[in-house]
Amino acid sequence: MNIEQKIINSIRVVSADAIQKANSGHPGLPMGAAPMAYTLWSRHLNVNPDDVNWINRDRFVLSAGHGSMLLYSLLHLYGFKVSMEDIKNFRQLNSNTPGHPEYGMTDGVETSTGPLGQGVGMAVGLAMAEKHLAAKFNKEDAKIVDHYTYVLCGDGDLMEGISSEASSLAGTLGLSKLIMLYDSNSITIEGSTDLAFTEDVAKRYEAYGWQVLKVEDGNDILAIDNAIKEAKAEQKKPTIIIITTKIGYGSPNKVGKASAHGAPLGEDEIEKMREFLQWDYKPFEIPEEIYDETKRQLDKKLEIYNNYQTDLKAYKEKYPKDFKDFEIAISGKSDEDIFDDEYFSFEKDMASRAASGILLNRIANKLPTMFGGSADLAPSNKTFMENSDSFSNENPLGKNIHFGVREHGMAAIANGILLHGGLRSYCATFLVFSDYMKGAMRLSALMEIPQIYILTHDSIGVGEDGPTHQPIDQLAMLRSIPNMKVFRPADFTETAYAWKYAMESEKSPVSIALTRQNLEALENSGEGVMNGAYIVSEAKNELKMILIATGSEVATAINAKEKSEFKDNIRVVSMPSMELFEEQTDEYKEKILPKNIEKRISVEALSTFGWGNYTGIKGINIGMNSFGKSAPANQVFEDFKINEEGILQAIKELFKS
Amino acid sequence: MNIEQKIINSIRVVSADAIQKANSGHPGLPMGAAPMAYTLWSRHLNVNPDDVNWINRDRFVLSAGHGSMLLYSLLHLYGFKVSMEDIKNFRQLNSNTPGHPEYGMTDGVETSTGPLGQGVGMAVGLAMAEKHLAAKFNKEDAKIVDHYTYVLCGDGDLMEGISSEASSLAGTLGLSKLIMLYDSNSITIEGSTDLAFTEDVAKRYEAYGWQVLKVEDGNDILAIDNAIKEAKAEQKKPTIIIITTKIGYGSPNKVGKASAHGAPLGEDEIEKMREFLQWDYKPFEIPEEIYDETKRQLDKKLEIYNNYQTDLKAYKEKYPKDFKDFEIAISGKSDEDIFDDEYFSFEKDMASRAASGILLNRIANKLPTMFGGSADLAPSNKTFMENSDSFSNENPLGKNIHFGVREHGMAAIANGILLHGGLRSYCATFLVFSDYMKGAMRLSALMEIPQIYILTHDSIGVGEDGPTHQPIDQLAMLRSIPNMKVFRPADFTETAYAWKYAMESEKSPVSIALTRQNLEALENSGEGVMNGAYIVSEAKNELKMILIATGSEVATAINAKEKSEFKDNIRVVSMPSMELFEEQTDEYKEKILPKNIEKRISVEALSTFGWGNYTGIKGINIGMNSFGKSAPANQVFEDFKINEEGILQAIKELFKS
């Protein structure tokens, strides 16, 4: 057996052994896809295990994240910080080899994957970032951004709509440096793909404008190598290489069967696998010759890395200004003061979405790394950066991305852009359609990346478009995602602080909910936003009741208070962000919401779910407990009594009790 | 101008006028797509406005729901209960002509649409239901289920991943009676579709296994008619008819522009439209000759309807047993007692997903109309009905649907199946992947249809698969959807009641969250489930504290109480459904959770968001405020202190305070 075949088998065996030891995991994919992954890593993938954040490394995304042992095996063999001890701890508490690859937990893992299709979306984002940055920084004689993005996916990834969305856009944008290895093993959990997936994938990808290549035998590493070469040579289109494999290859009895997918092979079958693969080593033993070979391959990769560093030095000398911009871009920090007085100043009242549009443009004027857009709602979301054009195949310098009507794909792509480095991404749609992208939004939070979600038309204030377009449940949905910071600003000042927080966030994604309708500026809005909640109207005399409101309802709450006979005993708190408030000291929280004040009313024109945390068992939550209605916005507010009258009624009720 | 052209223009003008009057709406689609819609309705669509629930009517779904005025115009012209007065009230409070079509609000509206792509998914479900019921009830000499499903969609629908998912499955299943009219107007909100959507749609649909037909001129009703005829003649494949149109046709200045899409044309432009279309009538005036013609067309439709009734009578005489089954199926009720003693009896403890699998099979054995499946997780979700086969093109009698890895498409399809009538649908995936189908789940709730969602692997109890597969935020997400009933049963008995509720629900969708891991049977679990929350372990002496738990944590809470020094003063409440509890009388609520007991602890191994409603300002919520970890399940519970120790600690803390 030649050394390459031996390495491939080592991946298969180590994967199966680790899964057996954990008594949990998915051996089918690592065993079937080991040859394609090895071919890619050994002959093509430019990486440096000692500089895992190297901006020009090739990106490898394992979209079929359940095949995590494939990735851990490769990381181990190629010198990343995944020891054999780590592999023995596969799927164990606090190990760096969790069940699915997790970004930030393991060196060399580019993205968290597992929820199918997300990896394809993020790979499209990585390739878009590369294309944009290359257009920005490369010179005729010096290409400092010039790498490929590879994604390995399975049938499940390609059945998910999110990958359709992202792949269609990748075709439109001509992302020729995006290369997808499709592990086509014709098996899913329920059985043969014939049950549910008989489409002609090749034809579908041709329809998207991709180059389609095929490898009939997934064990034929020469054919795989040639296909990857052909893919890299293509200058106009992304490439999918459809590689026919056998799931669980190496296991004589489970090969080609659904039973190989998601459960350990079993001790007996593992013995038979060793026989079949002629593998004479003990579990977790890899012969030196294999390490020698991967080390030899790695040395070549390091040569490429070192050449890049030399080229970069030359670039620095020849193009000092660009180099400085490049460094700033990679650092993710601006050297300008974005948040000056001008940033916070507005001339007139306006909808918070309009304020957001102005703020985004102010930021973009100072920060050249902004790169984002909307799922075909830019004019409504107010997300177009006027200082730039549309990003397209013909004009990759454009900063405004047209994602199309593809919310889920958009969010995954934006995650990929942010993960790439060198850019600050954002994306936008109506708040109600955050429903469509929840899966990818959750991944932003899980990966701890500061994605920015602009979500406009944030309540029944949507008006005539009616219940399908009026968000009710969406704020609660977003607030319940760990590490997601949700803002619902009450006027332009609060919007400005929300954007400031979003731009300064390092580990948390931020969702900003914005109104369609006009908002009057509050007298006392301000920096308190950064504490999540603060007093916007204080009780003149003894404090007996607290109104807590967000967004468009803050002004309504203040106005209602002013009309109340009890106004001197009522405080109004604006709570633009529950999450930020939760991060404050107990002292601060007690100052804003003293526990002994039990008369509490929340006002928010969305689901009341979750407000009990602040209003308690005896409080009243004014909001929506049904879907909305199609009618002019003010009539809808009246109809649901989310208005001064409704608040005054609640105040009376509580003072009676 | 011939009468047909005149009718088409009447649709355009009435649409534009209604939108102008409402000062809100989308004229572009109704004006561009009027000819295709008219051709379909006049020459093909078999409906009866006086029997809108006729089971064998052709179904028409306007997936591009923003074009609602197109649909309302047609409903008006064809004798449905949409008067000209209603049209004048377009988008007004409590009218039956809301901004987007809403199921249940307007006669003849088959589905709620607006969120793009959903209509395509539901149309696939309608066609699957037809195919299944046809296989079940039709005889060589008598076809009592034999209708087409038409769906009109736009570019946005086809960009959404959900439509890709559903269309791919439709191809696999050979749904030849599904016919899609694609209004290809090359315009989206942000501008030309070239910005983001350059794929070859025809080729993509060929790849899915569809027949693809093209009509180059969207005003050519003969060509449209011929294409629909060809589509109906096709016996093996669904058909997409790609019809090139001009958005806003009839408006001389806005035709073909994004500005025609989503805003009123304006009074001036409306005048110019009248000139261009040679339309001499006042707003909302339609000449008698038009009504005469649609009445004439309607008479033909009624003839078909009457013939069907005659055929049905003949069927009843010849096949009385089948006819009775058919009647029962349409009624949606079983004539068997499903929920007998046997239904509730289990021999041993088990995971609630396992109990759910047994219950589903018990139900399916008595109720022949069950039709559902999983997004490729049937073995894990325990959702296969053993008394039947897989539903497929070759075996349309099979009741088990293989949706493929397509959660969003699955939920929309299941909605379509349920909307069809004659079947009881359900669908399944892991709880964490409800994220992917939130959009369609919300529509179940908005349409008030009793969809059943089986959501297994319902907490960090997932274990090794780790944070991407451990739900945290999903229960809060589902609970915040108005009209969604969420259950998290604590043992097999509670699971049995949850399923009972789901099967008896008429207006609410139901989500059942089920464990992967084993659960011990509770001593006192039972019918209290139907009240949402009930006492499972009472305080022996004076009540001083309440533990509220759900699902797998109920047993943990009871065990912790038993170990506590304060056990005689502690009550444990199982709260399988917050929504059902909220529906109880104040008296019942006070009985279970007396307001004067402020020492309250919630225990649920998911996000604590929302629990403050029951534990108040001073309570403690035990649960997850971060993502989970990859490790064996029991270790994860220990690590996050969601165990007896954590509960005992909280009990002590509250008794100290």
Question: Residues A569-592: pLDDT tens digits?
Answer: 999 999 999 999 999 999 999 999
Structure tokens at B394: 């070759």
Which tokens go with B632? 């064996």
> Is residue A280 very low, low, confident or very high in pLDDT (cuts 50, 70, 90)?
very high
Question: In the block, which residue shows the tokens 């949507």?
Answer: A462
Using a CB-CB cut-off of 8 Å, the residues of chain A touching B164 are 161, 164-165
| pLDDT band at B333; cut points 50, 70, 90 | confident
Which residues on B lie below 8 Å from A196 (Cβ)? 169, 172, 376, 402-404, 406
Percent of chain A at pLDDT > 90 equals: 99
For position B335, what pLDDT does the model report? 76
When pLDDT is cut at 50, 70 and 90, the band that residue B67 belongs to is very high
**Rounded Cα–Cα distance for residues B429 and A117 (Å):** 16
Q: Is A303 a catalytic residue?
A: no
How far is C-alpha B625 from the geometric centre of its chain's CA atoms?
A: 30
Mean pLDDT of B183-187: 94
Closest by Cβ to B408, choosing from A98, A161, A402: A161
Assess whether pLDDT exceeds 90 at residue A333: no
Q: Where are the alpha helices (DSSP H) in A191-340?
A: 201-207, 221-233, 267-276, 288-318, 320-331
**A533 to each of A116, A510, A570, A612, B87, how far by Cα in Å?**
37, 16, 16, 16, 45
The overall average pLDDT reported for chain B is 97
Amino acid letter for position B204:
R
Q: What is the mean pLDDT of residues B205-216?
A: 98
Instruction: Please check the confidence at residue A477 and state whether its pLDDT lies above 80.
Output: yes
> pLDDT tens across B533-557, in order?
999 999 999 999 999 999 999 999 9
Chain A residue with Cα closest to B635: A93
C-beta atoms of A376 and B198 within 8 A: no
Within 329-368 of B, beta carbons closer than 8 Å to A belong to none
Q: Is A402 on the interface with B (CB under 8 A)?
A: yes
Q: Is B164 on the interface with A (CB under 8 A)?
A: yes
Confidence of residue B362 (pLDDT cuts 50, 70, 90): very high
Can you tell me whether residue B486 is helix, strand or coil?
strand
Residues 372-391 of A with CB under 8 A from B: 374, 376-380, 390
Q: At what angle do helices A68-77 and A28-43 cross, to 10 degrees?
A: 40
Q: Please tell me the pTM assigned to this model.
A: 0.98
CA distances from A497 to A363, A380, A382, A543 (A): 12, 21, 17, 28
Give the per-residue pLDDT at B599: 97
A207 CB neighbours in chain B (<8 A) are: 199-204, 206-207
| Contact: B208, A207; criterion CB under 8 Å | no
At residue B434, φ and ψ (nearest 5 deg) are -60, -25
Most A-contacting residue of B68, B116, B159, B194 (CB-CB within 10 A), to test interface:
B159
Beta-carbon pairs below 8 A across chains A and B: 387
Cα gap A101→A114, rounded to integer Å: 7
Contact A113, A402 (CB under 8 A): no
What pLDDT is recorded for position B265? 97
Q: Does A98 touch chain B (CB under 8 A)?
A: yes
The answer on pLDDT for A527 being more than 90 is: yes
- Please state, in angstroms and as integers, the Cα–Cα distance from residue A13 to each residue in A32, A74, A81, B395, following that order: 12, 12, 20, 40
Closest residue by Cα to residue B383 from B407, B345, B353, B346: B353
Contact flag A160-B379 (C-beta cutoff 8 Å): no
**Cα-to-chain-centroid distance, residue B45:** 24
Q: Give the pLDDT band of residue A332 (cuts 50, 70, 90).
A: confident
Residues B641, B624: Cα–Cα separation, whole Å: 10
- For A314, the token pair is 């030359």
How far apart (Å, rounded) are the C-alpha atoms in residues B21 and B270?
Answer: 11
- Residue B189 tokens, joined: 């909100």
Q: How confident is the model at residue B343 (pLDDT cuts 50, 70, 90)?
A: very high
Q: Output the CA–CA distances (angstroms, integers) from residue B318 to A249, B142, B144, B296, B314, in the order listed.
A: 56, 10, 13, 34, 6
Question: Would the CB atoms of B436 and A438 count as touching at under 8 Å?
Answer: yes
Across all residues in chain A, what is the average pLDDT? 97
* Interchain proximity B435–A445, CB inside 8 Å: no
Q: Could you give the CA distance from residue B590 to residue B587 in angstroms, rounded to a whole number?
A: 5
- Write the CA distances from A518 to A457, A462, A549, B204, integer angstroms: 11, 11, 17, 43
* CA–CA min distance B435, chain A (Å): 5
Q: State whether residue B437 sits within 8 Å of chain A by CB.
A: no
* Residue A111 confidence (pLDDT): 98
- CB contact B25 to A (< 8 Å): yes
Beta A600-607 vs A545-549: how paired, if at all?
Answer: parallel
The first and second tokens of residue B44, run together, are 């093909």
Question: Is the model's pLDDT at A336 over the cut of 90?
Answer: no
Asked if residue B614 has pLDDT above 80, the reply is yes
Q: Are A133 and A143 in contact (CB under 8 A)?
A: no
Q: Do B609 and A473 touch (CB under 8 A)?
A: no
In this prediction, residue B334 has a pLDDT band, given cuts at 50, 70 and 90, of: confident
Section A450-457 average pLDDT? 98
Backbone angles phi, psi at B65, to 5 degrees: -60, -20
**Mutation site, A210, A376, A546, interface B, largest B CB count within 10 A:** A376
- Statement: residue B657 has pLDDT above 80: no
B232 pLDDT exceeds 90?
A: yes
Distance CA A588, CA A605 (A): 26
What is the model's pLDDT at position A335? 76
Please state, in angstroms and rounded to a whole number, the distance separating the CA atoms of residues B647 and A595: 23
Alpha helices for A287-433 (secondary structure H) = 288-318, 320-331, 341-344, 352-366, 378-381, 407-420
Q: Residue B547 in contact with residue B561, Cβ under 8 Å?
A: yes
**CA Rg value for chain A:** 27
Confidence at B291, pLDDT banded by 50, 70, 90: very high
Residue B209: what pLDDT? 98
- The answer to whether residue A524 neighbours chain B at the CB level (below 8 Å) is no
The dihedral sign for the CA sequence B569, B574, B579, B585: negative
pLDDT over threshold 90, residue A542: yes
Kindly tell me if the per-residue pLDDT of A404 is higher than 80: yes
Sheet with A59-62, strands from edge to edge, namely A59-62, A149-154, A178-184, A239-244, A211-215
The whole-number average pLDDT for the span A244-266 is: 96
Q: Which residue has the tokens 């703020």?
A: A359
Q: Which residue has the tokens 């444990």?
A: B572
> Is B338's pLDDT higher than 80?
yes
For residue B480, which residues of chain A lie inside 8 Å, CB to CB?
A: 472-473, 476-477, 480, 607, 609-610
Confirm if A454 and A428 have CB atoms less than 8 A apart: yes
Q: A106 CA to chain B: closest CA distance, Å?
A: 13
Please tell me if residue B625 touches chain A, with a CB cutoff of 8 Å.
yes
Residue A334 pLDDT exceeds 90: no
Instruction: Give the dihedral of Cα atoms A531, A533, A537, A541; nearest 10 deg.
Output: -90
| Per-residue confidence (pLDDT) for residue A506, from 0 to 100 | 96
At B249, list the tokens. 């046709």
Give DSSP secondary structure letters for B335-377.
Answer: SS--SSHHHH--SS-EEHHHHHHHHHHHHHHH-TTEEEEESS-
Residue with tokens 């992304």: A238
Residue B598's Cα: distance from chain center in Å? 39
Q: How confident is the model at residue A500 (pLDDT cuts 50, 70, 90)?
A: very high
Which residues in chain B are contacts of A163 at CB distance < 8 A? Answer: 161
Which of B94, B468, B636 is nearest residue A446 as measured by Cβ atoms?
A: B468
Residue in B546, B544, B543, B545 with CA at minimum distance from that of residue B575: B546
- Give me the pLDDT at residue B103, please: 98
- Which of B153, B617, B626, B657 to probe the A interface (max A CBs under 10 A)? B617
